[in-house]
């Protein structure tokens, strides 16, 4: 029994898919006008884990994550760059795919792009106009009439009168109500546009997600997720559009990830305090970044700092140490253990990854203990379980040596290091400990740490 915290009801609920055995989920993806930052990575990883976990529990998951490839910010950036907006978006989509792959984020089942769904958006807008939920304004924009939907605000718990009273809402002449939002924006001469019954224009931001999710998943689907800052107005508006257009409940479970913070402030584009995934990957291995992200619950906010990332690296290293130099037993020879059960118990409770990681550490401890006491089979079995559970979180799938010895731009090659290790072994054999220690110290200065064991000496980059 899986429980998920539903933003809509503000409580954990037992998850019951609409269609038994199948899960239909949608996540709001990126607006591709710039490189992804850590906040994006957070959401990407969080929902990647959700989909992996649900699949591991036997669900047939259809995971749709859109790409917003038309938007004012994109047009502005392309204009600044002096390039067609499609060049910009193609480049950023490629970059995003690269970043995702590095972080171990599996491709979604479908990745619809807004520009491929203009017709569906227009159809939906038409329906909304026909049912008086939307209107064509004097400036040729089409707006959704917020007052026509009595549940408006149910997700973000906002009251319409409070929103209307809010001094920060821009009162546009053309809108009937200041809280109304654009479904279709009329294009000026020379602007990027598509033909529509209301003249040339481009879609508003929110309508694309309603059109794409409905088209790919149906009027009602199981899970809709996204970043914390999408709850209002984006998701609120999606609900309004979709429920008015289809007449059905839009989404059963709403999931929102917590924010990444830097110095106690939310990492965001507007504050400019963001770190892109690629710049962080210049310093930290991708798996460490992912481990850092899954080390805290998806709904809680996490503080980005070098120290926290470094600590995540040390914690992950402990897990890989346990796996090093061991041949895991074949999966089919390892049945479910109490560690698996504990892991599932924790993950069933709203995807408690930090708790699940504690199970992984328990497994590492078991492996080390078994090996120390010569129980090779037990160790190999536990190693299999560790790798199997790690896979659900998207970690621990590398060869441990590859993890420890990944080239971080040091001057020494693996061959150099092996040669020095041999030289040290010779010195030790000759009881020249001073000489042996000198070699070890020299390597340490280059960031190479040696681990001796009965089987020999292994090395890793610090």
Work out which of 260, 280, 393, 395 binds RNA, going by CB under 7 A. Answer: 260
- Total residue length of the chain: 462
Provide the minimum distance between the beta carbon of 414 and RNA in the complex, in angstroms, as a whole number: 18
Q: Which of residues 90-149 bind RNA (CB under 7 A)?
A: none
Distance of CA 76 to the CA centre of its chain: 26
* Residue 43 touches RNA, criterion: CB under 7 A: yes
With vertex at residue 216, the alpha carbon angle to CA 211 and CA 217, rounded to the nearest 5 degrees, is 100
Pick the closer one to RNA by CB: 18 or 444: 444
Provide the minimum distance between the beta carbon of 313 and RNA in the complex, in angstroms, as a whole number: 9
Residue 187 · residue 139 · CB < 8 Å = no
* Residue 259 touches RNA, criterion: CB under 7 A: yes
Q: Which of residues 203-232 bind RNA (CB under 7 A)?
A: 205, 226-232
* Residue 400 touches RNA, criterion: CB under 7 A: no
* Residue 364 touches RNA, criterion: CB under 7 A: yes
Which tokens belong to 413? Answer: 């090659």
* Residue 436 touches RNA, criterion: CB under 7 A: yes
* Residue 174 touches RNA, criterion: CB under 7 A: no
The binding track of 153-172 with respect to RNA, each residue x by CB under 7 A or -, is ---xxxx--xx--x-xx---
Cis omega before residue 233 (within 30°)?
yes
Collapsing DSSP to helix, strand or coil, 195 comes out as: coil
Q: Which of residues 365-394 bind RNA (CB under 7 A)?
A: 365, 368-369, 372
Collapsing DSSP to helix, strand or coil, 317 comes out as: helix
Q: Which of residues 53-92 bind RNA (CB under 7 A)?
A: 73
Piece of the chain touching RNA by CB under 7 A; list 29-37, 191-199, 378-386, 403-411: 29-37
| CA–CA dist 292, 175 (Å, integer) | 45
Residue 228 · residue 26 · CB < 8 Å = no
Piece of the chain touching RNA by CB under 7 A; list 191-199, 308-316, 375-383, 404-412: 308-316
| CA–CA dist 46, 53 (Å, integer) | 11
* Burial of 313: CB neighbours in 10 Å, binned 0-12, 13-18, 19+: middle
| CA–CA dist 136, 142 (Å, integer) | 4
Residue 6 · residue 13 · CB < 8 Å = yes
Pick the closer one to RNA by CB: 300 or 397: 300
Piece of the chain touching RNA by CB under 7 A; list 80-88, 193-201, 350-358, 382-390: 350-358
Counting residues that bind RNA (by CB under 7 A) gives 83
Q: Which of residues 275-304 bind RNA (CB under 7 A)?
A: 295-297, 300-303
Work out which of 138, 150, 264, 332 binds RNA, going by CB under 7 A. Answer: 264
Q: What is the DSSP string of 109-126?
A: SB--BGGGGHHHHHHHHH
Nearest to 11 by CA among 296, 253, 353: 253
Work out which of 56, 246, 268, 276 binds RNA, going by CB under 7 A. Answer: 268
The binding track of 228-257 with respect to RNA, each residue x by CB under 7 A or -, is xxxxxxx----------------------x
């Amino acid at each position: 029994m899986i429980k998920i915290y539903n933003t809509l009801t503000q409580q954990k609920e037992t998850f019951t898919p609409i269609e038994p055995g199948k899960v239909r989920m949608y996540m709001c993806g990126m607006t591709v006008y710039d490189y992804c930052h850590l906040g994006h990575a957070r959401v990407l990883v969080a929902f990647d884990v959700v989909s992996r976990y649900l699949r591991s529990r036997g669900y047939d998951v259809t995971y749709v994550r859109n790409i917003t490839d038309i938007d004012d910010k994109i047009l502005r950036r392309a204009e600044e760059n002096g390039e067609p907006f499609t060049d910009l978006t193609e480049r950023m989509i490629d970059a995003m795919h690269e970043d995702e792959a590095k972080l171990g984020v599996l491709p979604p089942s479908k990745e619809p792009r807004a520009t491929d769904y203009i017709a569906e958006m227009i159809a939906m807008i038409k329906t909304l106009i026909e049912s008086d939920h939307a209107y064509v304004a004097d400036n040729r924009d089409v707006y959704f009439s917020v007052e026509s939907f009595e549940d408006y605000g149910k997700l973000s718990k906002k009251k319409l009168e409070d929103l209307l009273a809010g001094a920060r809402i821009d009162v546009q002449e053309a809108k009937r109500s200041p809280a109304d939002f654009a479904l279709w924006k009329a294009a000026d001469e020379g602007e990027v546009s598509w033909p529509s019954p209301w003249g040339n224009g481009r879609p508003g931001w929110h309508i694309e997600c309603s059109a794409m999710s409905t088209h790919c998943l149906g009027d009602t689907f199981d899970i809709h997720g996204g970043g914390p800052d999408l709850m209002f107005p984006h998701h609120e508006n999606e609900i309004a559009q979709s429920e008015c257009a289809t007449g059905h409940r839009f989404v059963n479970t709403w999931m929102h990830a917590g924010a990444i913070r830097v110095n106690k402030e939310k990492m965001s584009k507007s504050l400019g305090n963001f770190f892109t995934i690629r710049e962080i990957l210049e310093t930290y291995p991708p798996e460490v970044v992912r481990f850092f992200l899954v080390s805290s619950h998806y709904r809680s906010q996490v503080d980005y700092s070098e120290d926290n990332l470094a600590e995540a690296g040390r914690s992950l290293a402990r897990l890989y140490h346990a796996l090093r130099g061991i041949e895991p037993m074949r999966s089919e020879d390892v049945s479910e253990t109490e560690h698996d059960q504990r892991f599932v118990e924790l993950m069933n409770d709203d995807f408690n990854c930090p708790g699940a990681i504690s199970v992984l550490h328990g497994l590492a401890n078991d492996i080390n203990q078994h090996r120390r006491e010569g129980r090779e089979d037990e160790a190999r079995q536990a190693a299999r379980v560790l790798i199997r559970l790690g896979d659900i979180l998207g970690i621990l799938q590398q060869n441990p040596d590859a993890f420890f010895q990944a080239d971080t731009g040091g001057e020494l090659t693996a061959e150099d290091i092996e040669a020095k290790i041999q030289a040290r072994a010779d010195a030790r054999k000759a009881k020249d400990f001073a000489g042996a220690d000198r070699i070890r110290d020299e390597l340490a200065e280059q960031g190479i740490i040696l681990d001796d064991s009965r089987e020999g000496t292994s090395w890793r980059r610090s």
